């Protein structure tokens, strides 16, 4: 069968394809019963392991303690800031209220005085 050049790479149903060979089964060295047993660690290696373990535990405990200190400090600061903020708001409110009251009293006093003057002038013109 003559196929065009572009179709020659496509296998035909009559062709037998052979599968690729499976890779050989490998066993990890720690599971291989023929592998030599690992050598026992030296005293220096054991000591270094314990030092590293102690340092890791110290760092972990220190990190947890510092996180707790930060959390409690933030709570304390937030509480104190809330109290201080509330006190300042009350003081400012009282001061602003007092200033507004004084300004209104002065405005009303001037308005009343002006009206009285106008009324007096109108009465004087009538006489």
Residue 124 structure tokens: 């004087």
Indicate if the pLDDT at residue 60 is higher than 80. Answer: yes
b/e burial code for range 28-56 (CB count within 10 A of at least 16 → b): eeeeeeeeeeeeeeeeeeeeeeeeeeeee
Indicate if the pLDDT at residue 44 is higher than 70. Answer: yes
Task: Round to whole Å and give the CA distance between 37 and 40.
Answer: 9
* Percent over 70 (pLDDT), the chain: 78
The answer to whether 56 touches 50, Cβ cutoff 8 Å, is: no
Q: Which residue has the higher pLDDT, 62 or 20?
A: 62
Please identify which residue in the block is written with the tokens 């065009």.
4
Dump pLDDT digits (tens) for 71-100: 999 999 999 999 999 999 999 999 999 999
């Amino acid at each position: 069968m003559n196929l065009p050049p572009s179709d020659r790479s496509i296998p035909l149903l009559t062709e037998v394809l052979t599968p690729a060979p499976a890779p050989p089964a490998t066993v990890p060295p720690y599971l291989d019963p023929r592998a030599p047993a690992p050598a026992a660690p030296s005293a220096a290696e054991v000591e270094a392991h314990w030092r590293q373990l102690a340092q890791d535990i110290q760092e972990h405990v220190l990190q947890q303690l510092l996180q707790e200190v930060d959390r409690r400090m933030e709570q304390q600061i937030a509480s104190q800031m809330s109290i201080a903020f509330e006190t300042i708001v009350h003081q400012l409110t009282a001061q602003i209220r007092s200033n507004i009251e004084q300004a209104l009293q002065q405005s009303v006093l001037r308005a009343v005085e002006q009206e009285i003057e106008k009324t007096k002038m109108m009465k004087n013109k009538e006489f």
